[in-house]
Structure 1
Amino acid sequence: MFGTVMVANRGEIALRVIRTLRRLGIRSVAVYSDADAGSPHVAAADVAVRIGPAAAAESYLSIERVIEAARATDAEAIHPGYGFLSENTAFAAACEAAGIVFVGPPASAIEAMGDKIRAKQTVAKAGVPVVPGSDGAGLSDDDLAAAVDEIGYPVLLKPSAGGGGKGMVEVHRAEDLADAIVGARRVAKGAFGDDTLLVERLVTTPRHIEIQVLADAHGTVVHLGERECSLQRRHQKIVEEAPSALLTPEQRERMGAAAVEAARSVGYTGAGTVEFIVGGDRPDEFFFMEMNTRLQVEHPVTELVTGLDLVELQLRVAAGERLPLTQDDVSLQGHAIEVRVYAEDPAAGFLPTGGRVLAFETPTGPGVRVDAGIEAGGVVGSDYDPMLAKVIAHGADRDEAIRRLDTALAHTTLLGLGTNIGFLRTLLADDDVRAANLDTGLVGRRLEDWTTADLPADVLGVATGVTLLGLEPAGPVVDPFDIPGGWRLGDPAATTRTLLVAGHDPVEVRARGRAADASLAIASDEPVQTCTEVVSGDGRRGDYRHAQGGVSRRYRAARADDGTLWIGRDGYTWAVREQGRLEAARADAAAGGGPVVSPMPGTVTVVDVAEGDTVVAGQRLVVVEAMKMEHVLTAPVDGVVRDLRARAGAAVAKDAVLLNVDTEEE
């Protein structure tokens, strides 16, 4: 076994690999960019090496700098995690040339499976069923259009390189094909450095089922059962479970055997995943999609139902050992389900978010596991993927696993930026999800239902109470003129605030009295008595007890530097702020002319207009990319482009004004 292993990655996967290295007594080496200098994976490793600035191309994707770091620390092997260089043939070859073991398959296997076109051709020869589609390399736009004419609509455009659903576009109408090809090529080029596309028949109501395989250099190839990953947004998984409720033992064995043959066909070694698409109404019919030649994000669910440490097995295979198990040794115990916690706003189409983590608390309990790569005080920027953590639960059966997972999410607190935690709880409570009636389009169809909810009145109450606490004087003696609600002879004066909560209309709140015995009138409602008390912390950050309408609940709250008050309860969070000039400007833009602002920190990739151009409402103006996702900004009204500040390739902050659209005079 190795003495020193470097982890060429960041975040939760780097921490997860380091955890196994520590258990095995192996010295760990972390690498980090300037953006990650204070990250948890840096502190967890035995040694840490800076490899460049925040930009991934100059740090985590720099083969030269990663190899230099390995040499400088005498690392005998490099574990790539997933993403970044994990499926890069040049990196695998560079490791070999440097005399460093790459903890993964040989470069030839990565190359064969990394190109989706070649992968389909290879596995088809091995007898594995594939989705009907184009099978040529380097197809032009006209070639793709011709292939679509032959396949028929609907179709799916996919980058030949890369994975993770990035750049995949569904096309249902001929008139949408040209723009879809342009967009898919742009994303593919930006994410993978290769804009080659392929096209496949779009399987309607599909289920995404993948098989975990392991192979050693001595001819043993086994599978560890399947994972169902049908709950996705933007073709990226958000919920994964093992085993699938769809498959019978016989179907599992057939699909597992096909995955083993796919791995054998390219001389695979190490851990890998063969992904299949299955018609929900025809589970006997499955098609090969691709093979991920690395550890998967969702590997914990397989670990929990098999009792195996996949990272340890990867290391042992890379060290030349034989797999310590055969297919007959593999058995699945119970059920495991995982959710991915993202920095994103589901109600805004999963738009990436970001900011400083003001509070982060994770759950514990029977069968609960949390793999996280952040901590309170850290900053989530736009340089990397928006996944922050994974919460996983294991139970005797699927129902118990879901109950444990929901409880775990209810005890997860993350304040300071928008996340999908509350959305995940709503998703898990859905009748179709509970009944395992899944397909890859379910999230898209139900998104509005799962993100539309009334604003709880107590959120406004606790926001007002925490604000009053922060304004109240400290000490046993209180001057009545210092009370923030005002003071006068007779009844105390009321203070009026207009509060804004994302996704909801502004609400006017009139407060009279102190936090401990306030009288609140929300909008036109009758006044209600509330009580907000500090459990721990102070009037700016901590735990609070709030009573309203006869119900007392505990909250976690923290105020950001920009004045936004983040409130968390039962896994749900709300960002509350008082209406100011920025919000008024946005309202003007929605109702008439005004500024077009970046909804997230990112990079401008496309500017479609010039100063003085006349535009119509809904016309595309600028494209901003952040966390591997593109967001199209359109004209709010008919008008003229003024004060154009957006420049292709330029970095922009959240809420940065990119241009103005002035309404034309009559």
Structure 2
Amino acid sequence: MFDTVLVANRGEIAVRVVRTLRSLGIHSVAVFSDADAGARHVREADTAVRIGPAAAAESYLSIPRLIDAAARTGAQAVHPGYGFLAENAAFARACAEAGLVFIGPPAGAIELMGDKIRAKETVRAAGVPVVPGSSGSGLSDAELAAAARGIGMPVLLKPSAGGGGKGMRLVREEAALGEEIAAARREARGSFGDDTLLVERWVDRPRHIEIQVLADGHGHVVHLGERECSLQRRHQKIIEEAPSPFLDEATRAAMGEAAVQAARSCGYTGAGTVEFIVPGNDPSSYYFMEMNTRLQVEHPVTEMITGLDLVEWQIRVASGEHLPLAQEDVTLTGHAVEARICAETARVTGDRVDFLPSAGTVLTLHEPTGDGVRVDSGLAEGIAVGTSYDPMVAKVVAHGPDRATALRRLRGALARTVVLGVDTNAAFLRRLLGHPAVVAGELDTGLVDREAATLVPTEVPQEVYVAGALLRQRELFPREDRGPVAPAWVDPFSVPTGWRLGGEAAWTQHHFRVPGHAPVTVRVRGAATDAQFLLPPATEGATEAPRSAKLLPATAGGGGAAEISLELDGVTHAFTVSHGPEGTWLAGAEGAWHLLPHDPVDAGLHGGAAGAHAGTLTAPMPGTVTVVKAAVGDEVAAGQSLLVVEAMKMEHVIAAPHAGTVTELDVTAGSTVAMDQVLAVVTPVASDSEVES
């Protein structure tokens, strides 16, 4: 067994690997970029080494710097986690050349299975069914388009290197092939440094099912059952469970044996995953898609139903131990479901939902506990979540004796998950887990995209605005109305009681803006402990009568947060509140919201919500402009793509909102932009009636 292991990764997976190293009595070495100097994995490891600036290419993807860090700390082995260099054959070879054990499969197996084209040919020869698609590597754009037409639309474009759904494009129309191939190549090149693509037949309403395998260096391979990974958005998994509610025992055994044969075909050792696409109407018809030659994000659900620590067995296998398990020794107990917590903001546009990367400092963090609940997290209060790396920041997992119990426990755990300072998808995932199709186990890889708009509230709950207004009102009152001891004398003219001579009590106005929503003004009179308020009417022209609300005394929470309760219309709403430099964060039963101060006068004068030009295009997320497709003076059509902004390895296309002329273009390729920064302006084409007048 090793004495010291370097973890060549960051975030929640680095924290999770360190946990197992500690349990085995092995000294752990973390690495970090400048962006991660205060990160949780740095705090929890026994030793931490700086390896470079924030850019991944100069830190987490720098093989020489990682090898140097291992040499400086006396590490005997390297655990790559997942992502970054976990499936990089050159890194595995560099470790071997430096006398380090790479805790993963041999470089040859990584190389073979990392090339999806060669991988399909290899497992097909081993008798494993594969998805129909293009053959041969290094196909040109024209050859890819021809292969797609030969297969028949729709088709799926996939990078030959890498995984995680990055660079994958579903193409339904032949006319879109050229643009989609170019976009897929660009994304693949940016994510994996390799723009080789393949094309496969698209299976409508498919299920994504994968088999966990474990192999030692002595020729012994077993599978640990399957995971259902069909709940995806943009081809990226967000909910996984084990076992699958779709498979019967016979299909499970057949797919497990196919996965074992796939692992044997490439001389695999360690933990790996064989992924299959399965038609939703026929579980017995399954096709090999790819093999992930590393630990998977979703490995905890397998651990919870088998009782095995997969990271421990990766380490034991790498140190030369025999697997003690025969296939008949593997038992699956109960059911487990995992939710991936990502730093992102959901924006609804018509019937489409965009999940955009979010960034900020974690002001308050409450991670759930309870029977059957596990959290793997890279979060901690005070750390900054940026856009340089993948947006996944934590995983919440629940286990139960059956699927219904596991789902219920996970929904409850997500309701108790509070992250203030950064937007996350926790509330979205909780709603998804309550969707009737999910509860019934009727899943497919397109379900989330079809139903996303129904799972994202289009309006901010009124209690959020009322709570925010009463919090402000409370700050304006003397201390006796806020809880602590008041000064001996209070200037009566500084208290917004609403009193005035000879007339109705006046109102104090509180102006708010929640990103992605129109500004709202809440009018309040009286103390926060017994106030009246007015909200804008729900329908135009209607009048809103004053209503009563009470803000109950606050209690202190962790990290400078407060726990408050709002009594409104006979219902008490509980919130966790944190005040940041840019506004107030509130987390309640329906999610978390960022209440920003809003100045309606300034907004009108400087092109804010009231005065913005209808053709002003702003950055939907902080990130980097990677492509500029237009110039000032260009005539553009409605929907024409003008720019591409990338953050956390995701691309977002900025398109013209209408036909017109590009009259402003304030960025170039490589520009770093902030959320809501103006990128371009498209002035609409004047209509015939406007020209005549």
- TM-score, normalised relative to structure 1: 0.96
Partner of 1:86: 86
When residues 205 and 663 of structure 1 are mapped into structure 2, their CA distance, relative to the original with a 3 A threshold, is closer
1:541-570 CA distance string (max 9 Å, x none): 42111111111122111222123x211013
Partner of 2:501: 489
Aligned amino acid, residue 533 of structure 1: L
- The reply on whether 1:362 has 2:367 as its aligned counterpart is yes
Q: CA deviation at 1:455?
A: 3.2
Partner of 2:514: 501
Q: CA deviation at 1:378?
A: 1.3
Partner of 2:625: 604
1:611-639 CA distance string (max 9 Å, x none): 33333443322111000110111233444
Partner of 1:555: 575
Structure 1's unaligned 5+ residue stretches are none
Q: CA deviation at 1:136?
A: 0.9
Counterpart CA distance in 2 for 1:49 and 1:469 is 47
1:99-148 CA distance string (max 9 Å, x none): 00000000000000000000000000000000000011000011111111
Aligned amino acid, residue 518 of structure 1: A
Counterpart CA distance in 2 for 1:183 and 1:323 is 44
Q: CA deviation at 1:454?
A: 4.3
Partner of 1:579: 598
Counterpart CA distance in 2 for 1:200 and 1:134 is 6
- Is the CA contact (8 Å cut-off) linking 2:364 and 2:560 kept in structure 1? no
When residues 540 and 305 of structure 1 are mapped into structure 2, their CA distance, relative to the original with a 3 A threshold, is closer
1:515-565 CA distance string (max 9 Å, x none): 1111011113221111113422499942111111111122111222123x2
Counterpart CA distance in 1 for 2:279 and 2:231 is 14
Q: CA deviation at 1:239?
A: 0.2
Counterpart CA distance in 1 for 2:22 and 2:518 is 51
SS at match of 2:149: helix
Partner of 2:418: 413
Q: Which moved more, 1:375-384 or 1:120-129?
A: 375-384
- The reply on whether 1:424 has 2:429 as its aligned counterpart is yes
Aligned amino acid, residue 180 of structure 2: A
Counterpart CA distance in 2 for 1:64 and 1:138 is 28
- The reply on whether 1:566 has 2:578 as its aligned counterpart is no
Query: Equivalent of 2:527, from 507, 514, 530?
Result: 514
1:265-292 CA distance string (max 9 Å, x none): 0000000000001011000000000000
Counterpart CA distance in 1 for 2:102 and 2:236 is 27
Q: Which moved more, 1:542-551 or 1:448-457?
A: 448-457
Aligned amino acid, residue 614 of structure 2: G
- Is the CA contact (8 Å cut-off) linking 2:156 and 2:170 kept in structure 1? yes
SS at match of 1:95: helix
Partner of 1:542: 562
- The reply on whether 1:268 has 2:280 as its aligned counterpart is no
Q: CA deviation at 1:640?
A: 3.7
- The reply on whether 1:396 has 2:401 as its aligned counterpart is yes
Partner of 2:536: 523
Q: CA deviation at 1:588?
A: 6.0
Partner of 2:105: 105
Counterpart CA distance in 1 for 2:330 and 2:590 is 36
- TM-score, normalised relative to structure 2: 0.93
Aligned amino acid, residue 386 of structure 2: G
- The reply on whether 1:377 has 2:382 as its aligned counterpart is yes
- Is the CA contact (8 Å cut-off) linking 1:421 and 1:571 kept in structure 2? no
- The reply on whether 1:479 has 2:491 as its aligned counterpart is yes
Q: Which moved more, 1:224-233 or 1:629-638?
A: 629-638
Counterpart CA distance in 1 for 2:252 and 2:106 is 27
- Is the CA contact (8 Å cut-off) linking 1:413 and 1:571 kept in structure 2? no
When residues 429 and 23 of structure 1 are mapped into structure 2, their CA distance, relative to the original with a 3 A threshold, is same
Counterpart CA distance in 1 for 2:499 and 2:176 is 64
Query: Equivalent of 2:668, from 628, 647, 665?
Result: 647
User: Which structure 2 residues correspond to residues 28-107 of structure 1 after superposition, within 5 A?
Assistant: 28-107=28-107
- Is the CA contact (8 Å cut-off) linking 1:209 and 1:228 kept in structure 2? yes
When residues 601 and 455 of structure 1 are mapped into structure 2, their CA distance, relative to the original with a 3 A threshold, is closer
SS at match of 1:186: helix
Identity level (%): 58
Q: Which moved more, 1:573-582 or 1:192-201?
A: 573-582
User: Which structure 2 residues correspond to residues 210-289 of structure 1 after superposition, within 5 A?
Assistant: 210-289=210-289
User: Which structure 2 residues correspond to residues 312-391 of structure 1 after superposition, within 5 A?
Assistant: 312-347=312-347, 348-391=353-396
Counterpart CA distance in 1 for 2:611 and 2:217 is 62
Q: CA deviation at 1:463?
A: 1.1
Residue correspondences, number? 664
Counterpart CA distance in 2 for 1:12 and 1:28 is 15
Counterpart CA distance in 2 for 1:77 and 1:498 is 56
Q: CA RMSD in A?
A: 1.9
- Is the CA contact (8 Å cut-off) linking 1:409 and 1:571 kept in structure 2? no
Counterpart CA distance in 2 for 1:201 and 1:100 is 41
Aligned amino acid, residue 520 of structure 1: F
Counterpart CA distance in 1 for 2:514 and 2:424 is 15
SS at match of 1:260: helix
1:577-613 CA distance string (max 9 Å, x none): 343446973546876344x221211111001122333
Q: CA deviation at 1:14?
A: 0.2
SS at match of 1:82: coil
- Is the CA contact (8 Å cut-off) linking 1:59 and 1:65 kept in structure 2? yes
SS at match of 1:163: coil
SS at match of 1:389: strand
Counterpart CA distance in 2 for 1:207 and 1:345 is 26
- The reply on whether 1:621 has 2:621 as its aligned counterpart is no
Counterpart CA distance in 2 for 1:589 and 1:197 is 45
